[in-house]
Amino acid sequence: MYNRISIVGGSGTGKSTLCDILAKKLNLPAIHLDAINFEANWVEIDKNKRDKIINERANEDKWIIDGNYSKTLKERFDRADLIIWLDYSTYAQVKGIFNRILKNYGKEKTEIPGCKERFNFTFFKYVITYNKKKRHIIVDNLNGIPEDKVLIFKKRKALNKWLEELR
């Protein structure tokens, strides 16, 4: 079975939720990169410090890491036994964000202590332009990775089916 799983994809695809589900199912520690990147009230830590912490965590023997953070993707992909890419359409990402905001607006995010679910135009713009501007970073970092080490899901339904079959 897997000891190190990297989960990537656009905002609103369910990376953190999947990370928590797999962590319980496989008895592996969940590492949410947003929890490393943000302190209370959405204050970002120094990027060099963040990347150092991410690489230290990726060098551990067992983990499920969710998040993109492109400067550390290669190291995580190289160490991972399995890479799960939630490669959803822009529409699916926007829908995921709106569902999350409607359900949790103003509530503290469980995976990021001290940060409440929020919405702002800058974030919305990031979400709607992600596939055009950022998706290629994942594609580029997957170059040279063996195909049997990568699962790409285009739809939540396919992911849910895989989760049901996972033992």
* Mean pLDDT score of the chain: 96
The pLDDT value recorded for residue 92 is 98
pLDDT for the residue 1: 83
Per-residue pLDDT at 158: 98
| Domains located in the chain, CATH noted | 4-165 (3.40.50.300)
Rounded to two decimals, the pTM is 0.95
CA distances from residue 55 to 48, 69, 132, 145 in whole angstroms, order as listed: 11, 11, 27, 18
Average pLDDT over residues 77-81: 97
